[in-house]
């Protein structure tokens, strides 16, 4: 068969119409670079999920990840968090366009948060799009004077193929045995980073509520014998307190973040005790896994319709209310129908769908503006 030249291929593509011309335009050597942290944690996971989904789609976009934007040569840079943008923004050239994911923040959250928000307000003209994950964050943005045309709400996604309920209670028991977990306990989970820095995390990152978590566990443990499963980096504060209190626990920090899906299948309950969040991922991953949850009124929980039977959104940040809601769930026997109802709450948040929202609402419009 004779070889078809690239020029001829382009003629065929042009003849196929606008959709094919769009694909051809996006297939240059660097369309979008998603800027991630060097550490193997949340923002990097987002980038990998979007990358995988776009690769499997027919978008035709050339999307890559990097922890060093100055080493990339892209038309569009998407910063996975507002703090990374503040750090790297002055090292970019002036020809590229920038999208920014702004997970959460209030001016009262402390010096760093306030400085970062003021930086955003002052430098918003440098941004093409600002992505937020929940409605309240969108409202905050407009109240700060951010141009509404720049703000796009796209929820955080979840891998519905990876995070799913166990089929039977026998399967759950087998998995607990595989992890050498003792019988006679209710298993509670908390999978996040809630210590300062990237070391041991012995100093609590209070915005993530590790103090509320342990104080709630103390109260729950008085009523129901519990075993705590924790994951994530920098959990030193929680670990040290549980050691002092002699609350049994295991800590897992997997190199492959997809392994964490198994842990949700072990749990009777997942706890979100943060004072501020953009998701959090633990909330939507637990629901996708059919795992009951108790959450403070943060992030995407404020947009989800939790039923206050097996998925509680408490009214405030009081430890008593968190513990009381948790005990109410732990005293129930959760059936497969209820687990499906939990999963249905996040059925529209697959990474395939969320990645295409990024493509259609962020990347494609920006690339077409060149």
Mean pLDDT, rounded, for 314-323: 96
Kindly report which listed range (255-264, 276-285, 311-320, 323-332) carries the lowest average pLDDT score.
255-264
CA 123 centroid distance within chain: 25
DSSP string, 142-196: HHTT--GGGEEE----B-TTTS---S-HHHHHHHHHHTTPPSS-EEEEEES--BS
**Which tens digits make up the pLDDT trace of 349-365?**
999 999 999 999 999 99
* Nearest Cα residue to 315 out of 324, 108, 228: 324
Mean pLDDT, rounded, for 80-103: 84
Q: How confident is the model at residue 84 (pLDDT cuts 50, 70, 90)?
A: confident
Q: pTM of this prediction?
A: 0.88
**Which tens digits make up the pLDDT trace of 161-218?**
999 999 888 999 999 999 999 999 999 999 999 999 989 999 999 999 999 999 999 9
Report pLDDT for 95: 65
Report pLDDT for 141: 96
Report pLDDT for 207: 94
Report pLDDT for 93: 61
- Contacts of residue 329, defined as CB under 8 A and 6 or more positions apart, other chains included, come to 268, 269, 292, 294, 310, 312
**Which tens digits make up the pLDDT trace of 8-46?**
344 333 333 333 333 334 444 679 999 998 877 789 989
Instruction: Identify the structural domains of the chain with CATH numbers, from first to last.
Output: 6-157+351-368 (3.40.50.2000), 169-344 (3.40.50.2000)
Q: Specify the higher pLDDT residue, 280 or 59.
A: 280
What is the average pLDDT score of the chain? 89
- Contacts of residue 78, defined as CB under 8 A and 6 or more positions apart, other chains included, come to 32, 33, 34, 35, 98, 99, 100, 101, 358, 362, 363
d(CA 222, CA 226): 9
d(CA 50, CA 352): 8
* Nearest Cα residue to 319 out of 300, 299, 296, 298: 296
Residue with tokens 């503040």: 86
- Contacts of residue 144, defined as CB under 8 A and 6 or more positions apart, other chains included, come to 117, 120, 121
Cβ atoms within 10 Å of 361's Cβ, excluding its own = 16
User: Are the C-beta atoms of residues 274 and 268 closer than 8 Å to each other?
Assistant: no
d(CA 184, CA 147): 55
Report pLDDT for 86: 87
Residue 246: which region, alpha, beta or left (left: phi > 0; alpha: psi -120 to 50)? left
* Nearest Cα residue to 32 out of 315, 263, 362, 342: 362
Report pLDDT for 29: 63
């Amino acid at each position: 068969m004779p070889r078809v030249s690239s020029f001829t291929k382009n003629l065929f593509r042009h003849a196929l119409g606008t959709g094919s011309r769009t694909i051809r335009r996006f297939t240059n050597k660097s369309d979008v670079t998603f800027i991630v942290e060097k550490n193997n944690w949340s923002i990097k996971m987002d980038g990998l999920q979007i990358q995988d989904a776009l690769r499997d789609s027919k978008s035709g976009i050339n999307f890559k990840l990097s922890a060093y934007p100055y080493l990339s040569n892209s038309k569009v840079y998407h910063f996975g968090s507002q703090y990374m943008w503040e750090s790297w923004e002055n090292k970019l050239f002036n020809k590229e366009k920038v999208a920014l994911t702004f997970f959460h923040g209030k001016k009262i959250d402390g010096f760093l948060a306030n400085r970062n928000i003021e930086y955003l307000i002052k430098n918003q003209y440098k941004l093409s799009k600002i992505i937020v994950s929940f409605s309240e964050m969108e409202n905050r943005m407009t109240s700060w004077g951010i141009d509404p045309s720049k703000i796009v709400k796209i929820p955080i996604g979840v891998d519905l193929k990876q995070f799913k309920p166990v089929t039977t209670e026998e399967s759950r028991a087998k998995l607990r045995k595989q992890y050498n977990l003792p019988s006679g306990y209710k298993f509670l989970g908390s999978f996040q980073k809630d210590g300062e820095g990237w070391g041991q995390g012995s100093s609590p990152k209070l915005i993530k509520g590790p103090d509320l978590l342990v104080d709630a566990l103390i109260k729950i443990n008085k009523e129901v014998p519990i075993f705590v499963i924790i994951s994530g980096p920098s959990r030193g504060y929680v670990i040290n307190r549980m050691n002092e209190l002699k609350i049994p626990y295991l800590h897992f920090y997997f190199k492959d973040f997809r392994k964490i899906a198994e842990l949700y299948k072990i749990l009777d309950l997942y706890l979100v005790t943060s004072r501020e969040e953009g998701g959090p991922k633990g909330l939507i991953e637990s629901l996708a896994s059919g795992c009951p949850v108790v959450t403070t009124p943060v992030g995407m929980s404020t947009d989800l319709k939790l039923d206050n039977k097996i998925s509680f959104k408490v009214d405030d940040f009081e430890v008593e209310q968190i513990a009381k809601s948790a005990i109410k769930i732990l005293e129930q026997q959760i059936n497969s129908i209820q687990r499906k109802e939990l999963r249905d709450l996040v059925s529209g948040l697959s990474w395939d769908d969320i990645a295409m929202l990024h493509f259609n609402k962020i990347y494609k419009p920006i690339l077409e503006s060149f």
